[in-house]
Every structure is written in structure tokens, then in C-alpha cells.
């Protein structure tokens, strides 16, 4: 048996999760993932445009690493989605321009496509535009078509990676906040956490927005600061039209790749993001604004031949991009302190590049620390997603109900999610090591509560199932971060119960 190297990954976003999966292949590594939240995937990896970018929007001169890992990541996701049963749609994308002058700018991206080896990119004009996607506005003059763009459910991707990594021996510790990196004589010896010291030989910092603070605690890159850049989105009800077949977006700006109009993997029209730089200290500000809403509706009307009424909006949310100085990802394994690895400031296209970033990090461990990584013979590449009633025909559903009547009991009527799916989601959360089962965790794994009524009806039913499955009192069930799940009434109920008990 080879000597084990203890590796601790900070952060269970898409980057930490992808690294965990890649490192789970090696029998001489003992890998821990530490996450401060109740669940995995709660940072930028949950609230983004969900696009697997082709790579033609990455500047090969100024951002060569981003360009290379984006293109590699796009190719790797095809294999990873198949192995891990992650829903994905290879829709292709169109960067739209309204004025003939913009075609010059589009030609720049065409050239970048050539230099970055992105296949099939070309300019489309006139009637052909409307033939490939009839939802496009007639004011659009042309577009840059990139056929290799894809759409994924980013949260489901994190969950799939973590489930697979845990099945292959990685340990996840949620509700574990890393306070600082602990070093001795210029060597990493572990991390100080909210649960005490966790010893490690190698610490990989994939803490998203807060990766700069942890890097400073290790004594490296004091100049490196991550700025939160907010992006707001609106999602329309499933019956709202139009539903673009391609991933449409406006021309990129210095702050963002443009505003997207796309049909999500779950079939809703989504518009966004905006781009607004926030002060450094606003790393928790995911508020939404009327200004943002107005901008998104305006951008949608530039791209689409018609925009659904605002009354069809069912969700308005924001994500925070971890924006590094000059947009440059900081991926580096240090010799001082030996064993500290930064995978920091991973702004867009971080979701796309995640598998390639993970392979790159594993190569750094070999090259910089001389690790001889030994492949596990028993490594399991496959994982299946939750069986859903929505994807069954009547005969299959009938068979499932005969075996397990919970498939016949619908919990979320908007999205047709059964009790069996909710219970499976709870079981899977417990299996990866989630200690506090949140309503949000179930919602994001099953889509229950994501429909028109936004969980008005199913929240209490899901909270009851969590309560029964885990023995947690109903009034203590957490929605996302706090126990306000069943509204003020729940708190009142808990308080009045206390009053009665105290009488
Ligand atoms: C608006 C927006 C749109 C985007 N669109 C796209 C897109 O379409 N395509 C694309 O490829 N990319 C896109 N991106 C970029 C992509 O989302 C990010 O690059 C990626 O999610 C970064 O992942 P991460 O794991 O580094 O960070 P995160 O997902 O933020 O994960 C970091 C994790 O670390 C945890 N953590 C932080 N501090 C600590 C601590 N001290 N102790 C323990 N845990 C800690 C956090 O809780 C979090 O779970 C977009 C980003 C945004 C915000």
C-alpha cells in the first residue's frame, strides 16, 4: 500500500467538486472537501448562466490559460455528463449584432475561434438567422454561430461530481468553515476550521469569492483581491414564449460576455445576467433591483421578436462573479509554503473549464510536489441521476408505482415531482455527508418548488418529509440559510408552542 498524502480542498463549488472527482482516482491520496455552507454548490456555481462556452470569447493573447482550459473543458464535459448522467443540451450559441458595424467586432471572435481551435464558428446573416432560430428579433442583422456551446444544470453538475467523488472515497465535511491556512517552517500542516484543526499535507484553496482571504492567511499573493461582480437574472414560467432553440446573447462588454436569452435545461426562458461591480466587502449581496429587471427586459426585447409579459416572471435572482485582478485566474502550487495550492478568482468560464482545471491541478501536484499518483483499480466513473416521474411514460410510471407507491404521490404539482424523488434526494444528501437537510437542497436536486407557485404549496410538504426522515422538529427545518421555511407562521407556531409549554 502506497503512503497516503492528505489533501484538503476548501470549497464545494464546481471547482472544488471537479478537483475532488479527479483526485478520487488515486489510491495514495486521502481527500477531504470542506464546505462552510449546509450543502454543496451554494456559491457562484449555483447562480450563473449555465452555458458551457465554446472558447472563442477568450483572448488567446491576454488570457491564454482561460482560453486553453475553456476549450478543453467544453470537450471534457461531453464525457463527464455521459459518465455522471448530468442533463446537458448541446444547443450551440449565437452572438447577435444589430448594426452592420458590429460585424467587425464579431470578426475578432472569429479569429479567436481559429486561434483557440474552436470548431465550426462562422458568421450568419439575413434569413438564415431566423431559420436556425425563429425567436430572434427581425432587427438583428447577423450573429456569430458557435455550434459547440452547451447548457447544463450547474447545481446538478456540482452534486453529481460530489456524489461520484464520495463514492470513490472522498470525504465531505459541510458546515466547516476554514478560518486560516496553518503553516510550519514554510510547510502547510493543515487548516484551522470552525471544528478545530484539520491536518493536511496539501491544501487546495477553491473558496470562490473568499479565496483571496485564505490565500492571504497562507502568506501568499497579498495583492490578490477578488471583487464581487453581480449578475441578475429573470426566469419565466414554462408556458412563456418564445423559447430560443439556440443560446442567444448580445455582444460581450469589458464586464461580461453579454446578456443571454436561453431556454434552460428545465425548459424555462431565462434572461441575464446584468453586470455590476460591487465593493470588496459586499461578498454576500445577492439582492435584486428594479433597475436590473428593467435592463433585462430591455435586453430581451433587443434579441427576441417578442418578450413575454412581466407577469410570467417566476424567479428573479442574482449571482456573484469572483472577479480577480485583470480577469486572470490564479492557479498555482507554491513551494513557500510547500503544499499550498490556489485555484482562485475563477470567474467565467469557470463552469465550462472546471474539468480541465481539475486535470491541470492534478498535473501541478505531480510536477511541483513530485507526487506519484497511483490509479485506483476500483475507481468508479459512473453515477446515475435521480429517477424522475417527469421522464417516465405511463407504463414505466405504472411499474415504478407498483414497486414503490411513493412514485404515485405528487408533492410538487407545478413540476410534477413525486414523494419518491424527494425521499431519494434526502437519502443522497445524507449519503454524501450533508448533516442539515435543507429545503433548498431538495428543491435544487428535484426541481420541486421551482414552478409557477414557487413552493407555496409544496414547501410545507417537503419540510414535513425532511422532518420525518431526519427526526428534525418541523420548525427547525432550514430553507436556504435560516429556518424560515414555512414563513412567519412557522416561527409563530414554534413560539406559541414554547409559550404553551412554558405556561
Ligand atoms: C452571474 C454569473 C454568470 C456566470 N456564467 C457562467 C457561464 O455561463 N459559464 C461558465 O462557464 N461560467 C460562468 N460563470 C462563472 C462560474 O459560475 C464560476 O467560474 C464558478 O462557479 C466558480 O466556481 P468556484 O467553485 O470557484 O466558486 P463557488 O461556486 O463560489 O464555490 C466556492 C465554495 O467555497 C465555499 N467557501 C468559501 N469560503 C469558505 C471557507 N472559508 N471555508 C469553507 N468553505 C468556503 C463557498 O461556500 C462555496 O461553496 C458565471 C458566474 C456568475 C456569477
Residues 319, 155 contacting (CB under 8 angstroms): no
Distance between CA atoms of residues 7 and 32, nearest Å: 6
Q: Which of 78-82, 96-100, 335-339 has the lowest mean pLDDT?
A: 96-100
State yes or no: pLDDT of 363 exceeds 60. yes
Percent of the chain residues past pLDDT 90, beyond the cut: 90
Cell numbers linked to 488: 412567519
**CA 181 → CA 19, 43, 467, 468, distances in Å?**
19, 21, 36, 39
pLDDT at 455 (0 to 100): 87
Distance between CA atoms of residues 202 and 126, nearest Å: 55
Cell numbers linked to 302: 433587443
pLDDT at 441 (0 to 100): 97
Which of 58, 352, 329 shows the shortest CA–CA distance to 206?
A: 329
SS3 3: coil
pLDDT at 372 (0 to 100): 95
Nearest-atom index, ligand 1, CA of 319: 53
State yes or no: pLDDT of 111 exceeds 60. yes
Q: In this structure, which residue's CA is closest to atom 4 in ligand 1? A: 48
Tell me how far the alpha carbon of residue 13 lies from the centroid of ligand 1, in angstroms: 6
Distance between CA atoms of residues 479 and 203, nearest Å: 31
pLDDT at 490 (0 to 100): 39
Q: In this structure, which residue's CA is closest to atom 18 in ligand 1? A: 350
Percent of the chain residues past pLDDT 70, beyond the cut: 95
Beta bridge partners of 122: 145
Tell me how far the alpha carbon of residue 44 lies from the centroid of ligand 1, in angstroms: 3
Average pLDDT (102-112) is 94
Q: In this structure, which residue's CA is closest to atom 9 in ligand 1? A: 51
Burial bucket for residue 308 (CB in 10 Å: 0-12, 13-18, 19+) = buried
State yes or no: pLDDT of 95 exceeds 50. yes
State yes or no: pLDDT of 486 exceeds 60. no
Residue whose C-alpha cell reads 442567444 in the numeric block: 248
* Strands 29-34 vs 171-173: parallel, antiparallel or unpaired: parallel
Average pLDDT (70-92) is 98
Average pLDDT (183-193) is 98
- List, chain by chain if needed, residues with CB within 6 Å of any ligand 1 atom: 10-16, 34-37, 42-45, 48-51, 53, 177-178, 206-210, 231, 273, 319-321, 346-352
Tell me how far the alpha carbon of residue 210 lies from the centroid of ligand 1, in angstroms: 10
Distance between CA atoms of residues 136 and 305, nearest Å: 5
Nearest-atom index, ligand 1, CA of 46: 29
State yes or no: pLDDT of 182 exceeds 80. yes
Q: Is 53 a catalytic residue?
A: yes
pLDDT at 491 (0 to 100): 37
Cell numbers linked to 168: 470513490
Cell numbers linked to 489: 407562521
Spell out a b/e string for 50-59, using b for 16 or more CB atoms within 10 Å of the CB, else e. Answer: bbbbbbbbbe
Residues 484, 490 contacting (CB under 8 angstroms): yes
Residues 141, 95 contacting (CB under 8 angstroms): no
- Enclosing H/E stretch for 302: helix 290-303
- At residue 248 the predicted structure's pLDDT band, cuts being 50, 70 and 90, is very high
Distance between CA atoms of residues 109 and 101, nearest Å: 14
SS3 379: coil
Q: What is the pLDDT of residues 274-308, one digit of tens each?
A: 999 999 999 999 999 999 999 999 999 999 999 99
CATH fold, domain 1-88+152-226+325-385, is FAD/NAD(P)-binding domain (3.50.50)
Q: Where are the domains of the chain?
A: 1-88+152-226+325-385, 93-147+227-323, 389-502
**CA 398 → CA 248, 272, 321, 401, 425, distances in Å?**
39, 40, 45, 5, 21
Q: What is the pLDDT of residues 116-129, one digit of tens each?
A: 999 999 999 999 99
Nearest-atom index, ligand 1, CA of 229: 53
Site to probe by mutation for ligand 1, drawn from 8, 10, 11 as the one with most ligand atoms within 8 Å of Cβ, is 11
In this chain, the answer to whether the domains covering 1-88+152-226+325-385 and 93-147+227-323 adopt an identical fold is no
CATH fold, domain 93-147+227-323, is D-Amino Acid Oxidase; Chain A, domain 2 (3.30.9)
Beta bridge partners of 33: 9, 172
Cα atoms in the Cβ-side hemisphere of radius 13 Å centred on 171: 10
Nearest-atom index, ligand 1, CA of 209: 30
- ∠ CA 107-113-114, nearest 5°, is 95
Q: What is the pLDDT of residues 367-385, one digit of tens each?
A: 999 999 999 999 999 999 9
Mean of pLDDT over the chain: 94
Residues 243, 251 contacting (CB under 8 angstroms): no
Which of 235, 292, 317 shows the shortest CA–CA distance to 269?
A: 235
Q: What is the pLDDT of residues 415-455, one digit of tens each?
A: 999 999 999 999 999 999 999 999 999 999 999 998 888 88
Tell me how far the alpha carbon of residue 350 lies from the centroid of ligand 1, in angstroms: 8
Spell out a b/e string for 115-135, using b for 16 or more CB atoms within 10 Å of the CB, else e. Answer: ebebeebeebeeeebeeebeb
Q: What is the pLDDT of residues 204-240, one digit of tens each?
A: 999 999 999 999 999 999 999 999 999 999 999 999 9
Residues 241, 267 contacting (CB under 8 angstroms): no
State yes or no: pLDDT of 492 exceeds 90. no
- At residue 71 the predicted structure's pLDDT band, cuts being 50, 70 and 90, is very high
Tell me how far the alpha carbon of residue 165 lies from the centroid of ligand 1, in angstroms: 18
Q: What is the pLDDT of residues 51-62, one digit of tens each?
A: 999 999 999 999
pLDDT at 221 (0 to 100): 96
Distance between CA atoms of residues 237 and 118, nearest Å: 34
Residues 409, 444 contacting (CB under 8 angstroms): no
Residue whose C-alpha cell reads 437519502 in the numeric block: 427
State yes or no: pLDDT of 249 exceeds 90. yes
50: left (phi over 0), alpha (psi -120 to 50) or beta: left
Residues 39, 85 contacting (CB under 8 angstroms): no
Distance between CA atoms of residues 258 and 442, nearest Å: 31
Beta bridge partners of 326: none
Q: In this structure, which residue's CA is closest to atom 2 in ligand 1? A: 48
If you write DSSP's letter for every residue of 270-281 in order, what string do you get? EEE---EE--TT
Q: What is the pLDDT of residues 400-419, one digit of tens each?
A: 999 999 999 999 999 999 99
Distance between CA atoms of residues 481 and 129, nearest Å: 44
Which of 355, 352, 347, 351 shows the shortest CA–CA distance to 328?
A: 347
Amino acid at each position: 500500500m502506497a503512503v497516503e498524502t492528505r489533501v484538503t480542498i476548501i470549497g464545494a463549488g464546481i471547482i472544488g467538486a471537479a478537483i475532488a472527482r479527479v483526485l478520487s482516482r488515486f489510491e495514495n491520496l486521502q481527500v477531504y472537501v470542506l464546505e462552510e455552507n449546509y450543502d454543496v454548490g451554494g456559491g457562484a456555481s449555483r447562480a450563473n448562466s449555465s452555458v458551457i462556452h465554446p472558447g472563442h470569447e477568450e483572448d488567446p493573447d491576454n488570457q491564454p490559460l482561460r482560453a486553453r482550459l475553456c476549450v478543453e473543458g467544453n470537450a471534457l464535459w461531453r464525457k463527464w455528463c455521459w459518465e455522471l448522467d448530468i442533463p446537458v443540451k448541446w444547443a450551440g450559441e449565437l452572438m447577435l449584432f444589430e448594426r452592420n458595424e458590429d460585424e467587425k467586432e464579431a470578426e475578432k471572435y472569429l479569429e479567436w475561434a481559429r486561434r483557440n481551435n474552436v470548431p465550426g464558428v462562422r458568421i450568419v446573416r439575413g434569413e438564415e438567422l431566423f431559420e436556425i432560430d425563429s425567436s430572434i428579433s427581425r432587427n438583428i442583422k447577423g450573429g456569430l454561430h458557435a455550434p459547440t456551446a452547451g447548457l447544463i444544470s450547474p447545481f446538478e453538475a456540482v452534486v453529481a461530481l460530489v456524489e461520484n467523488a464520495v463514492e470513490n472515497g472522498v470525504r465531505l465535511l459541510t458546515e466547516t468553515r476554514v478560518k486560516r491556512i496553518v503553516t510550519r517552517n514554510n510547510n502547510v500542516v493543515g487548516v484551522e476550521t470552525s471544528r478545530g484543526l484539520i491536518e493536511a499535507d496539501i491544501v487546495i484553496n477553491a473558496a470562490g469569492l473568499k479565496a483571496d482571504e485564505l490565500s492571504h492567511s497562507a502568506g501568499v499573493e497579498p495583492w490578490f483581491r477578488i471583487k464581487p461582480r453581480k449578475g441578475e437574472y429573470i426566469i419565466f414560467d414554462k408556458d412563456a414564449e418564445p423559447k430560443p432553440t439556440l443560446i442567444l446573447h448580445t455582444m460581450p462588454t469589458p464586464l461580461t460576455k453579454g446578456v443571454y436569452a436561453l431556454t434552460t435545461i428545465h425548459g424555462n426562458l431565462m434572461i441575464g445576467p446584468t453586470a455590476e461591480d460591487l465593493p470588496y466587502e459586499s461578498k454576500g449581496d445577492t439582492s435584486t433591483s428594479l433597475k436590473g429587471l428593467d435592463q433585462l427586459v430591455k435586453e430581451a426585447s433587443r434579441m427576441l421578436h417578442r418578450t413575454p409579459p412581466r407577469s410570467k416572471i417566476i424567479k428573479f435572482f442574482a449571482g456573484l462573479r469572483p472577479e480577480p485582478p485583470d480577469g486572470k485566474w490564479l492557479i498555482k502550487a507554491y513551494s513557500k509554503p510547500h503544499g499550498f495550492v490556489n485555484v482562485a478568482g475563477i470567474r467565467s468560464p469557470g463552469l465550462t473549464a472546471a474539468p480541465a482545471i481539475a486535470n491541470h491541478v492534478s498535473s501541478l501536484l505531480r510536477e511541483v510536489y513530485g507526487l506519484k499518483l497511483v490509479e485506483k483499480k476500483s475507481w468508479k466513473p459512473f453515477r446515475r441521476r435521480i429517477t424522475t416521474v417527469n421522464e417516465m411514460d405511463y407504463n414505466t410510471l405504472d411499474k415504478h408505482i407498483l414497486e414503490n407507491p411513493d412514485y404515485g404521490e405528487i408533492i410538487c404539482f407545478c413540476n410534477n415531482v413525486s414523494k419518491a424523488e424527494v425521499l431519494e434526494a434526502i437519502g443522497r444528501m445524507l449519503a454524501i455527508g450533508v448533516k442539515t437537510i435543507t429545503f433548498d437542497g431538495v428543491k435544487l436536486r428535484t426541481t420541486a418548488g421551482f414552478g409557477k407557485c414557487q413552493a407555496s404549496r409544496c414547501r410545507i410538504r417537503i419540510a414535513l418529509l425532511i422532518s420525518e426522515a431526519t427526526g428534525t422538529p418541523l420548525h427547525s427545518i432550514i430553507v436556504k440559510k435560516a429556518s424560515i421555511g414555512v414563513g412567519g407562521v412557522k416561527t409563530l407556531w414554534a413560539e406559541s408552542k414554547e409559550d404553551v409549554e412554558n405556561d
